[in-house]
Amino acid sequence: MNPLSLFRRVAIAEAITWALLLIGMFLKYVTHTTELGVRVFGMAHGVVFIAYCLVTLLVGVDQRWTRGRVLLGLACAVPPFMTVWFDRYAERRGALDTSWRLVTTEPAGPVERLAARQLRHPLRGALAGVVAVVALTGGVALLVGPPGS
């Protein structure tokens, strides 16, 4: 999987989970029919939100995005559906390549070395990503607490 396809898939997944969460919120707060949508889709959105943030950081390091572009990509995870806009914006500006730079280029600095290590060993990198998403989701869930608390 290349930076463009990975980023696009996660950006679209983040937008889809936003839509599902908004539907769940409509059912809970407008129709007062069920809280299930918020519980299920809220957790799904939280997991994908964190995955999107981690992928944004990884792609940003690999593609040598400016800090401003990385921060814009991260900020676009907050308003609904903006991750899809940012994906299109980054592609139009040539910021999403179809190959990983750090797979073939020597990393410069500790952050690039960490990213290169994950990219050069894709299975290990994917496992590290899953572990990071689970750990961060669990940590955020513990800090925030259950819905409605």
pLDDT in tens, 18-64: 999 999 999 999 999 999 989 999 999 999 999 999 999 999 999 99
What is the mean pLDDT of the segment spanning 117-140?
91
What is the mean pLDDT of the segment spanning 105-123?
96
Asked whether 76 and 7 are in contact (CB, 8 A), the reply is no
For residue 137, what pLDDT is reported?
85
Q: Would you place residue 147 in the very low, low, confident or very high pLDDT band (cuts 50, 70, 90)?
A: low
**What number of other Cβ atoms are within 10 A of residue 71's Cβ?**
13
pTM of the model: 0.92
Contacts of 28 (CB under 8 A, 6+ apart): 34, 35, 37, 38
Rounded CA-CA distance 115/47 in Å is 21
Q: Would you place residue 148 in the very low, low, confident or very high pLDDT band (cuts 50, 70, 90)?
A: low
